[in-house]
Amino acid sequence: GVQTCALPISHRVRIRTFPPDAPVFRQGDRPEAFYVVRSGEVVVEDLDPDSGDVIVLRTLGRGASFGELGLLDMAPRSATVRAKAGAQVFEVRKSAFDRLLADAIEAPSFAPSMQSFAELRSLPTFRDLPTDRLRDVLAHGAWRTFEAGTPVIREGEPGDAFYVIARGQASVSIDGTIVRVLGQGAAFGELALLNDTPRTATVTATSVLRVFRLDREGFDAVVAGQFDRARPNVEYLQPFGRREG
């Protein structure tokens, strides 16, 4: 069974011991804590959307943290985490997280790779990529956060990256006129990379905006083919006749 022992931070941080194969939490669970591996290893698992087979996304060892993005978003767990051959973890309950950590942690830099895998799979652009290609995406990209009013890309600048919105909204403007608003799951910046031309529009955060930024090498290797195949439909998909990016 699972053993617990209280630590003296208002009884809100515990050491929990999990036997081999025991889940720390399961996909779909309501988030109630985040965790740091004290000893042993845990594995992060997802289900293949086609076959239903379990895919091991990541193995986490001593010092690795997981589960914090679920607390920030209060979204159901997007993956299962279980002890590999037995593990001991620090469990930080939501009340302690809110009081001690939330204001001090910027999620994009604090989030471990397992959370990045889960977030990437939630975005339409990356949803159908196999695990090895998701690893390539992570190797060539990073999560970024922009405050409202901050430009992400500017019209006329060289294109060096591709972006997908995980949370928040952004406006697309051409010659100073807003032509479109982008929300969760929207992608932008591909045209400058596909055509090797300057940016055709400015994209500005209109709320706190969390995006995944993929560099040119990663875009060319993993994502560009999706847009090559879709290009006959670009004008139809973009009612303003020019695609941002």
Give pLDDT tens digits for 41-62. Answer: 999 988 776 677 888 888 989 8
Q: Model confidence over 103-150: pLDDT tens digits?
A: 444 444 444 455 566 678 778 888 888 767 888 888 899 888 899 999
Bridge partners for 37 per DSSP: 89
Residue from 100, 128, 138 nearest 7 by CA: 100
97 band by pLDDT with thresholds 50, 70 and 90? low
Q: Model confidence over 183-219: pLDDT tens digits?
A: 988 999 998 898 889 999 999 999 989 899 999 999 9
What's the pLDDT score for residue 115? 59
Length of the chain counted residue by residue: 245
Which H or E run contains 45?
strand 33-47
**Mapping DSSP to helix (H, G, I), strand (E, B) and coil, where does residue 78 land?**
coil
What's the pLDDT score for residue 188? 94
Residue 166 to residue 157: CA distance in whole angstroms = 24
Which comes out higher in pLDDT, residue 212 or 235? Answer: 212
Task: Tell me how many helices (H) and strands (E) the chain has.
Answer: 9, 15
pTM (2 d.p.): 0.53
Task: Give the distance, in angstroms, between the CA of residue 70 and the centroid of all CA atoms in the same chain.
Answer: 11
Residue from 125, 149, 157 nearest 205 by CA: 149
**Residue type (1 letter), 75:** A
